Structure 1
Amino acid sequence: MLSTKLRPLLKYSLLGGFVGGTLLSLHGNQYQIDSIGIVRLSRAAFTVFQIGVIYKKDLYGKGLDKSTIEYKELKSICHKRSAEKLLDLCCTNKGVYIKVGQHIAALDYLLPSEYVETMKILHRNAPTNKISDVYKVIKEDLKKDPLEIFSNIEPEPLGTASLAQVHKATLKDGSVVAVKVQHPYVQGNSKVDMKTMECLVKIMSLIFPEFKFQWLVDESKKNIPQELNFAQEGHNAEKMADMFKDVEWLKVPKVRWDLTTSRVLTMDFVEGGQVNDLKYIQENSINTFEISDKLGQLYSKMIFIHGFVHSDPHPGNIFVKKNEKGNCDIVLLDHGLYATLSEEFRANYANLWLSILNRDRRAMRYYSSKLGIEGDAYGLFACMVTGRTWDSILHGIDKTTFSKNEKSFMKQNFTGVLPKISEVLQNVNPQMLLILKTNDLMRGIEHTLRTGTRMGAFCVMSQCCVKSVYNERYKKCDRKMEKVRVTLAEFWELFKIRVYYTILSLKQISVNIFS
């Protein structure tokens, strides 16, 4: 027990530490009271308290039978009100809060639809900072007045994301560039914000005890520091451009290193339209199937061959444009978030995909266990990987068009296994989390383009899987004859794939002619 003399000393020491910490935080944020940690933490805590009151008073306090329609309707109303409170918090605190809010918006099968639909606005309308704030960051990092560097910076941003916004600008020599500028105070507040978000997630787990959300916190802690380092983003862009230097149709804007820091990224400006802009695509006579096939090829090679995967392929980060030959170029933007996959992981994931394509349930179970998923959960995991129903997987996903009925069926049935999905996400190999996110975003683009089943993309993916698997086997060979056998086996598998997909394509053409 503390003595009566020590208690006041401890009390005032804690108070002094709190005041001192607050003053330091104020100084670090240039005396912007709204951006300091204690204000943001208090705002978040109050929001959580309000959400708790909504559920306790307006839902659980009514004493309604949970099986009644009245209870379900009231629960939906409480979800909606709580989601709006959470959205307000994200828009007010900005930065990391918006990033996590965007994650919530992507959890279609894991959270109530009221939360998902409410938070989706953050993908389209992230809060924008004033141009004066943009100038301030540029001046601090580049050590010059922006008008000494640029002859013009367009005040209206080309796009605004959770951590930064992009402006079109013209250099003094007439070169047109895109300048990505980090939102002020995001970097300074990120650590405090992540701690706060971890507390919020723990409280949400109390509200929804059947769900496990710690994986979301762990991923955010790992990924956000990467995304906040724009110099690293520049290096990622250069690595991607070098990896695919022989692919003429892939364009990665060149980094202007003399105008790049950890908070400012300057790249050559590239014209084009967003990959989901159907009006732009139609006006420029771009073939949507060509877009889907090229994206499929690009991401299959990233995942299975290179193990370095652009992991934020939402429509705002992928542009398309028609080249001089009349074909489609893919422009890849925003290189802040990449998944680096180990060779062992790539081999296991490739084998899983081959087992799914071959409808081999025993192999599906085995390679799912290699990726952290044990027992009968392998079926659910296969559905999450492919975005298809179990029935479609058993009938061959390369031959089945993803229909609206199938999507509706999945949503209805996935709702009943939400706790199992959250358990899968908690247990799966962490490298898989960004791949699942990437797969979902790619499927969303394909759905918007209405391209359906893409034989060309499936063929390339199958080939990449085989190459990844046999590359791993080749490395384990000690003798020359073993290497020859593995090389011949790989050649035979690739030959069978080419023949198989050629026959499928011919069948599809004949169906289209006579239908």
Structure 2
Amino acid sequence: MQEIQQVIREDLGKEIHDLFQSFEDTPLGAASLAQVHKAVLYDGRTVAVKVQHPKVQAQSSKDILLMEVLVGAVKQLFPEFEFMWLVDEAKKNLPLELDFLNEGRNAEKVAEMLKRFEFLKVPRIYWELSTRRVLLMEFVEGGQVNDKAYMEKNQIDVNKISQQLGKMYSEMIFVNGFVHCDPHPGNVLVRKCPGTGKVEIVLLDHGLYQILTDEFRLDYCHLWQALIKADMKRVKKYSQRLGAGDLYPLFACMLTARSWDSVNKGIGQAPVTANEDVEIRNNAATYLPQISQLLNKVPRQMLLILKTNDLLRGIETALSTRASASSFLNMSRCCTRALAAHKKKKTCSLLKRTQISLEESFSLWQINLHELFLRVRGSWLGNLVFALLCWLSPTPH
């Protein structure tokens, strides 16, 4: 607490008791860079106070230097392991994470960007009491997004939460190219809004975002469309455009966390089995040198996207909703919208823009029809929908 008091005194110019009516000494959460305390302002607002550890700024440069030396030593001992990208990423991202004003700006940007999602709650930032080392936010309570027992107790539908999480991140990645890259369960809460009773996903910790270039984002859209449709020629083409080279089968497996056999059949065709999980783990160990080589080859933007994918997959596994068809359909919708928006942006012809809009509407209608088929599969209506889809679309569903 003495260190926390010191940072608040230095940055805000006042003692804790002058700023807050009450301030809980025990932190709500603590990590390597900062810790968060619950407090109440004199006007009655309950807030979360994120305070950076005082020695982090000075220590971080030494940590990066040490990391660089150790990774260099590993490279000398094991030439096949390429991990210098790890140092490069730390050098780029750590200064951004240590600037809490940058975190506050990110929070407001993503809240505005995704305001159409009524289920998303981003805590408000109180700028008048925020600095590079202290961030004051609206206090929001909830259960962790991977806490199935909490959701069952509060009658929250885990399938709906998983679906909404997928929608939110697909929108960030494919449409906006501005991606929250730390969705570990401590940073994503679920709650029933006290005022309305509506279920909300609360997104916290906005220090680490990845900004995707249009070229990368559109290639990534094309790749996921190809993966969903099991179009292997295009999987190879867009994997190679994203730097995977001849390791494109491994790249496809890493992105989807599915076996190569499942990728070839279509990742939306069947959920992950226990046997496939074992196969994936064994292959991850076997192909570790190739994985490190691949991570060194892909664009830097891909590294945090892979991290984000893995964290989201972990949440889906905890909720038993992993690799559901609906998540792939949501991704497909976002890819369709993103690619159509890009085409419309590139043309000045009203006729061409109208044509692109009609094609987009038709593709989205096909996805909706396919979703209907999945819901009623096995019934006479499902068979009719499937027959209609096969007739309408040249690509496999």
TM-score norm. by structure 1 comes to 0.71
Classify 1:305/1:449 alpha carbon distance in 2 versus 1 (closer, same or farther; 3 Å): same
Q: Distance in 1 between matches of 2:355 and 2:114?
A: 29
Aligned to 1:426: 296
Aligned to 1:351: 222
1:290-310 Cα deviation digits (max 9, x unpaired)? 110110000000111111111
Q: Distance in 1 between matches of 2:152 and 2:365?
A: 36
Aligned to 2:261: 391
Aligned to 1:369: 240
Classify 1:207/1:328 alpha carbon distance in 2 versus 1 (closer, same or farther; 3 Å): farther
Query: Do the aligned residues in 2 keep the contact of 1:292 with 1:454 (CA within 8 Å)?
Result: no
Matching residue's letter, 1:230: F
5 Å-filtered alignment, 1:472-483, equals 472-483=342-353
Aligned to 1:201: 71
Match of 1:155 among 12, 25, 33: 25
5 Å-filtered alignment, 1:74-473, equals 131-323=1-193, 326-375=197-246, 377-473=247-343
Matching residue's letter, 1:341: L
Query: Do the aligned residues in 2 keep the contact of 1:141 with 1:261 (CA within 8 Å)?
Result: yes
Q: 1:444: Cα distance to partner?
A: 0.3
Q: Distance in 2 between matches of 1:202 and 1:318?
A: 35
1:496 aligns with 2:371: no
Q: Distance in 1 between matches of 2:324 and 2:225?
A: 17
Q: 1:149: Cα distance to partner?
A: 0.2
Query: Do the aligned residues in 2 keep the contact of 1:321 with 1:330 (CA within 8 Å)?
Result: yes
Query: Do the aligned residues in 2 keep the contact of 1:290 with 1:328 (CA within 8 Å)?
Result: no
Q: Distance in 2 between matches of 1:478 and 1:345?
A: 24
Aligned length: 379
Query: Do the aligned residues in 2 keep the contact of 1:274 with 1:316 (CA within 8 Å)?
Result: yes
Matching residue's letter, 1:481: L
1:507 aligns with 2:348: no
Matching residue's letter, 1:346: R
Q: Distance in 2 between matches of 1:280 and 1:478?
A: 52
Q: Distance in 2 between matches of 1:150 and 1:327?
A: 31
Q: 1:424: Cα distance to partner?
A: 0.9
Matching residue's letter, 1:443: R
Structure with more contact order per residue of length (Cα contacts < 8 Å, sep ≥ 6): 2
Q: Distance in 1 between matches of 2:120 and 2:142?
A: 13
Query: Do the aligned residues in 1 keep the contact of 2:271 with 2:324 (CA within 8 Å)?
Result: no
Q: 1:508: Cα distance to partner?
A: 7.5
Query: Do the aligned residues in 2 keep the contact of 1:466 with 1:490 (CA within 8 Å)?
Result: yes
What SS class does the counterpart of residue 210 from structure 1 fall into?
A: coil
Q: Distance in 1 between matches of 2:378 and 2:272?
A: 16
Query: Do the aligned residues in 2 keep the contact of 1:157 with 1:168 (CA within 8 Å)?
Result: yes
Q: 1:502: Cα distance to partner?
A: 1.4
Q: Distance in 2 between matches of 1:220 and 1:325?
A: 42
Query: If you compute each CA radius of gyration, which structure gives the higher value, 1 or 2?
Result: 1
Q: Distance in 2 between matches of 1:478 and 1:235?
A: 34
Q: 1:439: Cα distance to partner?
A: 0.2
TM-score norm. by structure 2 comes to 0.92
Matching residue's letter, 2:54: P
Query: Do the aligned residues in 1 keep the contact of 2:29 with 2:37 (CA within 8 Å)?
Result: yes
Q: Distance in 1 between matches of 2:192 and 2:305?
A: 29
What RMSD, in angstroms, separates the aligned Cα atoms of the two structures?
1.6
Aligned to 2:391: none
Q: 1:187: Cα distance to partner?
A: 0.8
Q: Distance in 2 between matches of 1:371 and 1:310?
A: 20
What SS class does the counterpart of residue 507 from structure 1 fall into?
A: coil
Q: Distance in 2 between matches of 1:405 and 1:197?
A: 37
1:383-434 Cα deviation digits (max 9, x unpaired)? 1111111111112211211222211111112211111111111010111111
Structure 2: state its 5+ residue gaps.
381-397
Matching residue's letter, 1:368: S
What SS class does the counterpart of residue 376 from structure 2 fall into?
A: helix
Q: 1:279: Cα distance to partner?
A: 2.7
Q: 1:145: Cα distance to partner?
A: 0.8
Query: Do the aligned residues in 1 keep the contact of 2:100 with 2:131 (CA within 8 Å)?
Result: yes
1:175-218 Cα deviation digits (max 9, x unpaired)? 11000000111112222321121111111223433211011111
Classify 1:508/1:267 alpha carbon distance in 2 versus 1 (closer, same or farther; 3 Å): farther
Query: Do the aligned residues in 2 keep the contact of 1:307 with 1:341 (CA within 8 Å)?
Result: yes
Query: Do the aligned residues in 1 keep the contact of 2:347 with 2:353 (CA within 8 Å)?
Result: yes
What SS class does the counterpart of residue 277 from structure 2 fall into?
A: helix
